[in-house]
Amino acid sequence: MSDTLTHEMHYDHSDLRNFLTGHRLPPQYIDLVRRWFLPLIDELVVHRRRAQRPLLIGINGSQGSGKSTLAALLRAIFEARFGLHTIDLSIDDFYLPRDQRLKLAEEVHPLFATRGVPGTHDVPLIRDTLHALLHGRGPVPIPRFDKAVDDRVPEHRWESVEAPLDMVILDGWCLGTPAQDEEELETPVNLLEANEDPEGHWRRYVNQQIVDHYQPLYDQVDIWTMLKAPSFDCVYRWRLEQEKKLAESVADSDAANRVMTPAQLARFIEHYQRLTTHTLKTLPQRVHYLFDLDSERNIHAATRPNKVELK
């Protein structure tokens, strides 16, 4: 992608500053947006016009990489500057309710009590919601998940959006992650797997979920974007920053007590180490737009590993 904007006249930078304020982003984020993300937006708009149909855009990024912020930015500019009816969704909002995950933990493996890995999402709900947004007409209820209480928001509190849309954006830390080969599952990657999944039942079940349920979901995505972390080592620090933000935003004292401590977070992210590392190794060559991040989440390179080909 070019470092210069093709259609800079479309953008009112006061709107960008308002976006930064609303998302509590540092002033330097606007430079990131102007240099890297506005050219991406221009190209995505061109693809939408050529396709003459709603597009599903997938964004992959490890925890704390900024993928949800990017999704919100895309939506804001698509709507404000191009009049494109857009929604941004996170795969996190499609976690199974807590009671269903506890049942999964009891019947399959105790590690499924913790949300995050493939197998802990309601994939049929994701599929049905996306289909309604892209192909349906009328109001579509949008699921939400409350991480502070580790449970799905009650359905009567879900908001609705009118379908069909022009752009649907879906982000997730494991979105697009391919399954591993059987031999890659044999050796534990950390103490969590060594101590709590020594026989590999949990990680093999997760892997089979990718094959059976998540890969068909990935196949629906029209355009893939990835924010690539330099390594898994950055994830703990980035995720800790997210947890602190969550703690600051929670007003209810009971919910605030469920925000993780640094020690709890360290164990928590071990659930994601295997697939995050695998994703960083295998996904970059599969996406259409790749942004390489440094340890401070600054972008130092942007490439197009694959050409967008829309049917």
**Which residues are CB-neighbours of 105 under 8 A, at least 6 positions away?**
111, 112, 113
The residue written with tokens 């506890």 in the block is 102
pLDDT exceeds cutoff 90 at 64:
no
174/164 Cα distance (integer angstroms): 26
Q: Considering its fold, how many domains does the chain have in total?
A: 1
Domain assignment of residue 1, yes or no: no
Give the C-alpha separation, 204 to 186, whole Å: 9
- Rounded to an integer, the average pLDDT of 162-166 is 96
Looking at the predicted structure, is the pLDDT value of residue 182 above 50? yes
Distance CA 96, CA 139 (A): 23
Q: Which residue range forms the structural domain that includes residue 63?
A: 52-300
Average pLDDT over residues 68-90: 96
Residue 11 lies in a domain: no
The pLDDT, as a whole number, for residue 127 is: 97
**Residue 1 scores a pLDDT above 60:** no
132 pLDDT tier (thresholds 50, 70, 90) = very high
Average pLDDT over residues 234-243: 81
* Between 194 and 233, residue with greater pLDDT: 194
What average pLDDT does this structure show over 222-240? Answer: 91
User: Which residue bears the tokens 């997730």?
Assistant: 172
State the CATH number of the domain containing residue 159. Answer: 3.40.50.300
Domain for residue 106, yes or no?
Answer: yes
| pLDDT confidence band for 235 (50 / 70 / 90) | confident
What pLDDT score was predicted for residue 249?
Answer: 67
**Closest by alpha carbon to 17, among 41, 2, 34?**
34
| Mean pLDDT, residues 174-199 taken together | 97
The whole-chain average pLDDT of the chain stands at 91
Assigned domain for 45 exists? no
Q: What pLDDT, in 10s, does the model give residues 244-302?
A: 776 676 655 555 556 778 888 888 899 999 999 999 999 999 999 999 999 988 999 99
Q: Are 96 and 30 in contact (CB under 8 A)?
A: no
pLDDT score, position 4: 38
Residue 307 lies in a domain: no
In a domain, 59, yes or no: yes
Q: Do the domain assignments include residue 222?
A: yes
Q: What pLDDT does 9 receive? A: 45
Whether the per-residue pLDDT at 6 is higher than 60: the answer is: no
Query: What are the tokens at 6?
Result: 């093709």
pLDDT of residue 57 exceeding 60, the answer is yes
pTM over 0.95: no
Angle in degrees, CA 252, 119, 92, rounded to 5: 35
Look at residue 89 and tell me whether its pLDDT is greater than 90: yes
Q: State the average pLDDT over residues 86-109.
A: 97
Instruction: Please give the average per-residue pLDDT across 51-60, as a whole number.
Output: 97
Residue 2 has pLDDT above 60, yes or no: no
Confidence of residue 223 (pLDDT cuts 50, 70, 90): very high
Percentage of residues in the chain having pLDDT higher than 70: 92
Percent pLDDT > 90 in the chain is 75
| pLDDT above 60 for 11 | no
**What would the mean pLDDT of 143-171 be, rounded to a whole number?**
95
pLDDT of residue 3: 41
Q: How far is CA 256 from CA 94, 200, 240, 273, in A?
A: 22, 34, 15, 26
Strand partners, 227: 61, 291
Neighbours of 26 (CB within 10 A): 8
Q: Is residue 192 part of a domain?
A: yes
Secondary structure (H, E, C), 94-133: HECCHHHHHHHHHHCCHHHHCCCCCCCECHHHHHHHHHHH
How big is the chain by its Cα radius of gyration, in Å?
A: 19
Nearest to 121 by CA among 152, 88, 149: 152
